[in-house]
Copies of this chain bind each other. A is one copy, B any other.
Amino acid sequence: MSINQMSYAYGASKSSIREIAAYGSARKAEIGAENVFDFSLGNPSVPAPDAVRDSIGHALTLPAVSLHGYTPAAGLPQARKAVADSLNRRFGTGYAPADLYLTCGAAGSLSIVFNAIVERDAACEVAVVAPYFPEYKVFIENAGAKCVEVLADPATFQIDVAAMAAAINEHTVAVLIDSPNNPVGSVYSQQNLEDLAAVLREKSATYGHTIYLVSDEPYRELAYGVEVPWVPSIYDATIVCYSYSKSLSLPGERIGWILVPNTNPDHDSLVFAVAGSGRKLGFVCAPALFQRVLIDCVDVPTNLDAYVRNREALLSGLSELGYEYIEPQGAFYLWMKALEPDENAFFERCKKLELLPVPSESFGCHGWVRLGYCVSYETIVNSMPAWKKLKESYAQ
């Protein structure tokens, strides 16, 4: 039998988030959807804006051969120009369409980037800020690098820059961050990112090679009253990975991009490496119809109303009950302290009350759970008696 063991293992073991969601679905079928409070997934509950449907409808009037035909591997020039123009308007930058490579979503972006910068069998390392989205480790390891977890500051969940500095060594090729952060919902401050940038510049000089800052930004547009700093304006050797899965609620359509900012010292080589990485992984091009949707919808504002309402209901409800959490500044996750040190034991007690958060072990740390509030408002409101009962059960 010829089977790649890493592939087998990743296929045979589902992610624990998906396992909880599958349990939730089964449980809903058993006792009724209204009696299960499933906070496990990060699926947008807000529909794509009407502009997306209008754009698709308009695209369908184009000749089918050009509409559905191959695009250049990096994407339609008009779509890349639309994205570059939008970034330049928003961040005062001067990016060209050629700095952008359209992808099949953020997972595609990250996989392509790590396969572009990691040299196999060269003992490369990529540092991530824990807690972190568990698929990061999959993409980093598959590219042939070691995933080095660096715990965030335990009080603020900002990047612990001193810990990051201590973790970086001659093997480090990149640091991966996401802000707004999944699972915590924190947004890294300008100061925090500047401190990180200073360390990266120093370490790059010390070790004689550029240490990239890979900024994964699917939640950029989901921020609640705080500004999300533009990372390439803080550190030159940044690579941005973006997706429209959350901002336009298009997770199934697989559309996003990689930006290699023109500030990057290795810009031209990196652009080639990104293109070659996409090619060797088999991506060919991002889905053509949704490339056209970007041309029309790149500046359509994200509809945050439902998330704002959900966030307020969840925070006020849980805070009244005495739960502790990190106040989320972005994304649609609440990072809540478990009521006992073992988050898995806490999860088992949640489950008995039909409450389904995700234990923090999945994200590389202990003592917390993640609640996705991209659910219906009713789920949040109706879950409160169960959260109350859970809290009381710990008081006894």
Q: Show the binding face of A for B, using Cβ within 8 Å.
A: 1-12, 43-48, 52-53, 56-57, 60, 63-65, 67-71, 104-105, 107-112, 115-120, 124, 135, 138-139, 141-143, 173-174, 209-212, 249-254, 265-266, 269-277, 279-291
Of chain B, the residue at the smallest CB distance from A210 is B1
* Given A4-B117, A47-B65, A64-B249, A105-B276 contact (CB < 8 Å): no
| Residue contact A4 to B277, C-beta cutoff 8 Å | yes
Picked from B110, B119, B249, B274, the residue with its CB within 8 Å of the CB of A65 is: B249
> Which of B2, B139, B250, B277 is within 8 Å of A212, CB to CB?
B2
Q: Are B69 and A52 in contact, with the CB atoms below 8 A?
A: no
In the complex where A70-B252, A276-B11, A288-B253 touch, is A3 in contact with B47 (Cβ < 8 A)? no
Instruction: Please tell me if the beta carbons of B43 and A64 are within 8 angstroms of each other in the complex.
Output: no
- Identify the closest chain B residue to A18 (Cβ): B73
A116 — which chain B residues lie within 8 A by C-beta? 3-4, 7-8
A42: nearest chain-B partner, CB-CB:
B70
B280 & A138 in contact (Cβ 8 Å cutoff): yes
The 8 Å CB contact of A142, one of B44, B60, B141, B280, is: B280
Number of identical protomers: 2
A252 x B282 contact (CB < 8 A): no
Complex-state Cα separation, A285 to B245, whole angstroms: 12
Name the distance in Å between A195's Cβ and chain B's nearest Cβ.
22
In the bound complex, how far is the Cα of B380 from the Cα of A377, in angstroms?
62
Query: Least Cβ distance of A298 to chain B in Å?
Result: 16
- B276→A12 contact, CB < 8 A: yes
Query: Provided the pairs A6-B280, A57-B60, A107-B283 are in contact, do residues A68 and B253 lie with their beta carbons within 8 angstroms?
Result: yes
Kindly identify which residue among B68, B111, B142 contacts A251, using a CB–CB cutoff of 8 Å.
Answer: B68
